[in-house]
Copies of this chain bind each other. A is one copy, B any other.
Amino acid sequence: MPDFTFRLNATDGLARQGEVTTAHGVIRTPAFMPVGTQAAIKGVHFSAVRAAGADIVLGNTYHLMLRPGAERIARLGGLHTFMNWPHPILTDSGGFQVMSLSELRKLDEKGVTFRSHIDGTMVALSPERSVEVQNLLGSDIVMQLDECIRLPAPREEIERAMRLSLRWAERCKRAFEGAAPGRALFGIVQGGDDDALRVESAKALVDVGFPGYAIGGLAVGEPQAVMLHVIEVTAPVLPADKPRYLMGVGTPDDLLEAVARGVDMFDCVMPTRDGRHARAWTRHGPVNVRNARHAEDPRPLDEESPCEAARIHSRAYLHHLTRADEILGQMLLSEINLAYYQHLMQGMRAAIAEGRFAAFRDATRAAWARGDIPARD
């Protein structure tokens, strides 16, 4: 089994191109991780997720621990076997969804107790239990339990949550000791939109020492400028030889701008969620397929897409499927979006490797700014 390693192949400005090696294979960075909330990428076969270019997918600890249960998945051979995805998997800690999905939660130094949204039972999640659950799932990249708070928030509240997350980081590290080779635990920088708290959090985590670092607590409704500023403040504090993961982000433009600031990994439900709501992403920017202008348009969404579904189906057909609420419409658009996201990452990786990231970023943004191809007369 290979050790967990990160190799930086090239840098271009602050943008980085590298490779994370895990027990289940290599992740080319910058990497986008499709989200498989409940051991499934919504509406897309894993074979298509892989074919689109994904090296790694994300699983949600909160959902999986409640249903079907981490112990059950472990008895069934772990999450890779369970969902037939033999490639790398990252699992989150469960903390974010405890905050956003469950009622009646009680948070203290020890951890968080919440009521399951599925069957109403009370469930406890501590740093140690979060690591245990992720170990049971067998994920390649395990995330520390942290406390995410919504922005804006008072500084004292941000600081309290950040310090609690730091203490939980140390407990997670102890709990993760002795894990099999090829797996890694990432620490998560918190600190809201406060520069000093972000720097303090990042430095303290680096002192504890992790094989990778995430920037958490973003993608919670703040403006893009705030998010990019937090990256600019945080990334320089993180070691150059470890991967950096921006959690829950984002739009294609977010990815481009975050990579330009030194981020290596991303996850977001946007490509599949948008796909279920008739929104397609292409090199021309977002396209609302339900819009009447597509109703009789025989042209594909993007004739130059590497994704067959974006090339062979007419806009009129995709429009019809979404209007008729056909599952196939959700399936095709989710696949098209995942493929576009991966295509964008591949473009960034190649551009960084060849020292032309700035030009790639400009050209990509210019194509988005020109917008979708005009409707036919």
**Complex Cα–Cα for A326 and B82 (A):** 15
Q: Is A40 an interface residue (CB 8 A)?
A: yes
Total interface residues in chain A, CB < 8 Å: 37
Residues of the B chain whose Cβ atoms lie less than 8 Å from the Cβ of A68 = 295, 316, 319-320, 323
Contact A76 B326 (CB under 8 A): no
Q: Is A290 an interface residue (CB 8 A)?
A: no
Q: Is A196 an interface residue (CB 8 A)?
A: no
Residues of the B chain whose Cβ atoms lie less than 8 Å from the Cβ of A72 = 295-296, 316
Residues of the B chain whose Cβ atoms lie less than 8 Å from the Cβ of A75 = 296
Q: Is A369 an interface residue (CB 8 A)?
A: no
Q: Is A77 an interface residue (CB 8 A)?
A: yes
Segment at the interface with B among A41-49, A161-169, A182-190, A229-237: A41-49
Contact A328 B67 (CB under 8 A): no
**Complex Cα–Cα for A60 and B194 (A):** 59
Q: Is A329 an interface residue (CB 8 A)?
A: yes
Residues of the B chain whose Cβ atoms lie less than 8 Å from the Cβ of A317 = 39, 76, 82-84
| Contact A324/B84 with A45-B331, A331-B331 known, Cβ cut-off 8 Å | no
- Provide the A17-44 mask, 1 if CB < 8 A to any CB of B, else 0: 0000000000000000000001111111
Contact A328 B43 (CB under 8 A): yes
Write the chain B residue with the least CB distance to A39: B320
- Provide the A78-90 mask, 1 if CB < 8 A to any CB of B, else 0: 0000111000000
- Provide the A57-78 mask, 1 if CB < 8 A to any CB of B, else 0: 0000001000110001001110
Residues of the B chain whose Cβ atoms lie less than 8 Å from the Cβ of A329 = 40
Contact B76 A316 (CB under 8 A): yes
Residues of the B chain whose Cβ atoms lie less than 8 Å from the Cβ of A84 = 312-313, 317
**Complex Cα–Cα for A316 and B76 (A):** 8
Q: Is A134 an interface residue (CB 8 A)?
A: no
- Provide the A84-99 mask, 1 if CB < 8 A to any CB of B, else 0: 1000000000000000
Contact A321 B40 (CB under 8 A): yes
Contact B76 A328 (CB under 8 A): no
Minimum distance in angstroms from A194 CB to a CB of chain B? 38
Contact B314 A82 (CB under 8 A): yes
Minimum distance in angstroms from A129 CB to a CB of chain B? 21
Instruction: Indicate the member of A42, A75, A326, A327 with the most B CB atoms within 10 Å.
Output: A327
Q: Is A337 an interface residue (CB 8 A)?
A: no
Q: Is A298 an interface residue (CB 8 A)?
A: yes
| Contact A82/B316 with A68-B295, A72-B296, A324-B38 known, Cβ cut-off 8 Å | yes
Minimum distance in angstroms from A178 CB to a CB of chain B? 27
Minimum distance in angstroms from A51 CB to a CB of chain B? 12
Q: Is A330 an interface residue (CB 8 A)?
A: yes
Contact B42 A326 (CB under 8 A): yes
Interface residues of A in 320-349 (CB under 8 A from B): 320-321, 323-324, 326-331
**Complex Cα–Cα for A44 and B45 (A):** 10
Closest 4 CB pairs of A and B: A40-B328, A40-B326, A38-B324, A43-B327
A interface vs B, CB < 8 Å?
38-45, 63, 67-68, 72, 75-77, 82-84, 295-296, 298, 312-314, 316-317, 319-321, 323-324, 326-331
**Can you sample 15 A-B contacts with CB below 8 Å?**
A39-B317, A39-B324, A40-B324, A40-B326, A42-B328, A43-B327, A45-B328, A68-B320, A72-B296, A76-B298, A76-B317, A82-B320, A327-B330, A327-B331, A331-B331
